[in-house]
Amino acid sequence: MVVSYTDDDGTAESVVGQVSSEGWGDSHTMSSERFYSFSVVLNDGRVLSGGGSLTSRSTEIYDPATETWSAGPDTQIERYMSNGTLLQDGRFLVVGGAVTASKSTAEIFDPTTNSWSATAAMPVSVAFALGGANLLPDGRVLVTNMALDYSRSYIYDPVADSWPPPPT
């Protein structure tokens, strides 16, 4: 489990810990402070975490076998308050955020190549901050918005790399 919090002195921290019947286990501090970041457990058990900054594109990967964090590949743009979900093929989709450049963008992390690639342009430029990106049973992703326009939602098709228009 990745937990992000702010210390009493105002310093943002992100750590990995394990919960057992006896409480929290050892934690492992990340090298970068993150706030409103994304984190996902990849199919191989590693944890990808990134974003959480208005100015940084950095990511980190936690390896539970070695209990260490290492630098991951930078995202293509800054991601702060973004959303994401693990796709059926093991890649990770991250969408939107509150940074101006990220409002109408999405990108995919491929753990087999350890790289990010842009998706097709999103249909609208809004801050998809604090919304959701939920994997549907057919492999598409429902992206909902909780900032600015609470009624918007979109579908992303990772096979076609497209954002089909909603049905009329």
DSSP letters spanning 105-151? -EEEEETTTTEEEE-SPPSS----TT-EEEE-TTS-EEEE--SS-TT
Tokens coding 135: 């994997």
pLDDT tens digit string along 99-119? 666 567 889 999 999 999 999
Give the separation between CA 114 and CA 73, rounded to whole angstroms.
7
pLDDT tens digit string along 66-85? 888 999 999 998 888 888 89
Give the separation between CA 83 and CA 88, rounded to whole angstroms.
17
What does the mean pLDDT of the chain come to?
79
Compare 17 and 168 and report the one with higher pLDDT: 168
What residue ranges define each of the domains in the chain, with the CATH number in brackets?
2-156 (2.120.10.80)
pLDDT tens digit string along 124-156? 765 555 668 899 999 999 988 755 556 678 899
